[in-house]
Amino acid sequence: MLPGLPSAGEARQALGKLAVAAPRPMSGYSRGAFPHWAQQGNKCDTRETVLERDGQGVKRDAECRAVSGTWRSFYDDKTFTAASQVDIDHIVPLANAWRSGADTWTNDKRKAFANDLTHPQLLTVSAATNRSKGDQSPDQWQPPAKSAWCVYGRAWTSVKSTYGLTVTEEERKMLTTMLGTCTA
């Protein structure tokens, strides 16, 4: 499902190495500072690529838009049959990344982060859960389906570790709780 997802043990080790810091200021932030849905070497952009990866029976039109398929929203365990009903979630939201150190990155690094297909950063979820999550960290929002907590905690920790982003103490505590739901 998610590329580059570490094991629970690897995520626990990575979590122990993350720097704990207060959130940085939001001054200068805008979603536009993270160019997203970039072309992926064909007609397809990042969004369409993730829709195909996460869907079943996905059919595209000439512009690469998903016109049919089935998607399971991991956060709330619901199934959707229209691409318009799902969003592509940045596991670590762009604004959270900004508060965690991305404010010092180059535009190219922010673009790479926003379009990352090789780490567990992008996931197809219901529009409702993506919007309820917003830019909140795990201590502020958790997937409604508790069965998703292990994978969510592993993915969040991996992305923060990969990009050298900080966590708050409350965030670290909740990630520890989430990783505690893993069976292995």
Q: Calculate the CA 115 to chain-centre distance.
A: 10
On average, the pLDDT of the chain sits at 96
**Could you count the other beta carbons within 10 Å of the beta carbon of residue 147?**
12
Cross-strand partners of 68: 59
pLDDT at residue 41, as a whole number? 76
* Domain with 64 in it: 8-23+34-179
Q: How confident is the model at residue 184 (pLDDT cuts 50, 70, 90)?
A: low
Query: How many domains in the chain?
Result: 1
Q: What are phi and psi of 26, to 5 degrees?
A: -90, 0
pTM, full prediction: 0.96
CA–CA separation, 135 vs 166, rounded Å?
Answer: 15
Residues 156, 100 contacting (CB under 8 angstroms): no
Among 29-43, 65-79, 96-110, name the one with the lowest average pLDDT. 29-43
Q: How confident is the model at residue 131 (pLDDT cuts 50, 70, 90)?
A: very high
- pLDDT (average), residues 125-145: 97
- For residue 28, is it within any domain? no
- For residue 3, is it within any domain? no
- Backbone region of residue 179 per phi and psi (left: phi > 0; alpha: psi in -120 to 50; beta: other values): alpha
**Could you count the other beta carbons within 10 Å of the beta carbon of residue 108?**
9
